[in-house]
Amino acid sequence: MGKKFETEILHGRKKSNSKIASKVTPIYQTSAFAFKDLDELEGFYHGNGQYLYSRVGNPNTDELGEGVARLEGAPAGVAASSGLSAILAGVLAVVKNGDHIIAADDLYGGSYHMLKEELNHFGIETSFVSFQDLAEVEKEIKENTKLLYTESITNPLLRVEDIKGVVELAQKHQLNTLVDNTFATPYHCQPYQMGIDLVVHSATKYIGGHSDVTIGVLTGRKDLVASARTKIANLGTNVSPFEAWLTCRGLKTLALRMKAQSGNAKKLAEALSHNRFVEKVYYPFDQDKDGFGAMVTIELSKTVDINQFFRSLAWIKIAPTLAGVETTVSHPLTTSHRSLPQEACEALGITKEVVRISVGIEHEDDIIAQFEQAIEKSL
């Protein structure tokens, strides 16, 4: 990037070739693009045309993929219909039937299920290992291992990954790497710049930022993203132009939102650390003095009635997702990690007392007061 992050978000996109000088990219709400004759149509297949059919490509979806790639410092990016679709495309760009993946054992539950159950049906094996000790990860590498997969900040326990260590291990064994950067966003972390091959986002979350889209973005190496783009088109996991347009609009305020939300999250985490009815607070305090990410996870004391706690949160909504501008809460054991085996949840420490908080842009004092009051009412 040639500009500061906040400037690049707004002014980094390619200039439009259209003769109509619209300040904002129009919504190309079309299923297909027209051609003047058969020669022009044939030219598309020889690389002389840009768009044919919106499942294959569209100016709005391209703008989003390129925009997130630019913020990640990556050469290419592609949008998909959801975060899981983008993950699937990234995985399939690297592995095939008979290959082996090593994934962190503290992943988002949806990713865990896709790798363990769905891809297993297609002959792709995944071993789930704690990435807290990369020596243990190395022991799991086999002849058919092709990919190391983890998250920059894990969901829901907010472990910050040793990305440089993962890159060194992958390079030593000539493996590809994929990192889910949803929680950190490019504002806090740019894994591609640290040597990761593919970086994925559930853009439903912070990239969009307003809880009104379901969308994913994959960025990284040109060859792998090109392969993933083909998978997205052929598997039909493309995203609509309108949702891509909405997400591009949300992307413009990413820096402002992440600065405010991360600052609020750190203050909430600090306040709840002093509450005697909170057994543990998960937050990457040591990464940045102004806050590192807008997620806070807490483990409540067993003296707190967990259901009453959720009922007592007043204006803070219970939601199975995260990252909107409003503060919300979720219960990982019964939502995001519901598909994990009970023993896996217990090993990770995901109990019924664990609450994941997505911190919004409200005033910090109001956020803190609401959680403290809910705890007090639930004893």
Which tokens hold the place of 364? 């910090």
Same domain, 244 and 268: no
Q: In Å, how far are 123, 145, 234 from 99, measured between CA atoms?
A: 8, 6, 21
Q: What is the DSSP letter of 115?
A: I
- Strand order of the sheet with strand 216-220? 76-80, 216-220, 198-201, 176-180, 145-151, 100-104, 125-129
pLDDT in tens, 24-80: 899 999 999 999 999 999 999 998 888 999 999 999 999 999 999 999 999 999 999
- Residue 192 and residue 162 share a domain: yes
Of 251, 277, 311, the position where a domain reaches its end is 251
Q: Which secondary-structure segment (H or E) carries 255?
A: helix 254-273
238 with 367, same domain: the answer is no
pLDDT at 19: 73
Last residue of a domain, one of 199, 227, 251: 251
Q: In the prediction, which pLDDT does 54 show? A: 95
Distance (Å, whole) CA 19 – CA 55 = 25
How many domains does one find in the chain?
Answer: 2
**In which residue ranges of the chain is pLDDT below 70?**
1-2, 13-18
| Domain shared by 104 and 235, yes or no | yes
Q: Which residue(s) pair with 101 in the sheet? A: 126, 147
Q: Tokens in use for 243?
A: 């949702």
Backbone phi and psi for residue 271, each to the nearest 5 degrees, phi listed first:
-65, -45
List the CATH number of the domain containing 285: 3.90.1150.10
Residues near 308 by Cβ (< 8 Å), separated by ≥ 6?
377, 378
One-letter amino acid for residue 287 of the chain:
Q
Residues 153 and 265 reside in one and the same domain:
no
Do 87 and 178 belong together in one domain? Answer: yes
pTM: 0.95
Amino acid occupying residue 34: A
> What contacts 23, CB < 8 A, 6 or more positions away?
none
Q: Do 260 and 193 share a structural domain?
A: no
Between the alpha carbon of residue 110 and those of residues 84, 88, 129, 344, the distances in Å are: 8, 11, 17, 14
Give me the pLDDT at residue 341, please. Answer: 84
In b/e form, how buried is each residue of 221-240, taking b as 16+ CB within 10 angstroms? beebbebbbebbbeeebbbb
Question: For residues 245 and 28, what is the distance between their CA atoms, to the nearest angstrom?
Answer: 9
Alpha carbon distance 48, 188 (integer Å): 38
Looking at 227, 251, 275, which one is the last position of a domain? 251
Question: From CA 58, how far away is CA 256, in angstroms rounded?
Answer: 28
Residue 277: Cβ-neighbour burial (10 angstroms; 0-12, 13-18, 19+): middle
Same domain, 216 and 258: no
Domain that holds residue 39: 5-251
User: pLDDT value at position 47?
Assistant: 87
142 and 85 in a common domain: yes
Q: With contact defined as beta carbons under 8 Å apart, do 64 and 219 qualify? A: no
Contact 134, 166 (CB under 8 A): yes
CA distance linking residue 150 with residue 341, whole number of Å: 19
Backbone conformation region of residue 87, classed left if phi is above 0, alpha if psi is from -120 to 50, else beta: alpha
Q: Which of 325, 318, 326 is closest to 356 using CA atoms? A: 318
d(CA 295, CA 360): 9
pLDDT score at 16: 67
> Reduced to 3 states, what is the DSSP secondary structure of residue 134?
helix
- pLDDT of amino acid 183: 98
Tokens of 46: 């020889």
Q: Do 126 and 245 reside in the same domain of the chain?
A: yes
Q: Give the closest residue to 201 by CA, choosing from 176, 222, 180.
A: 180
The pLDDT score that the predictor gives to residue 15 is 66
Same-domain check for residues 143 and 221: yes
204 and 269 fall within a common domain: no
CATH assignment of the domain containing 9: 3.40.640.10
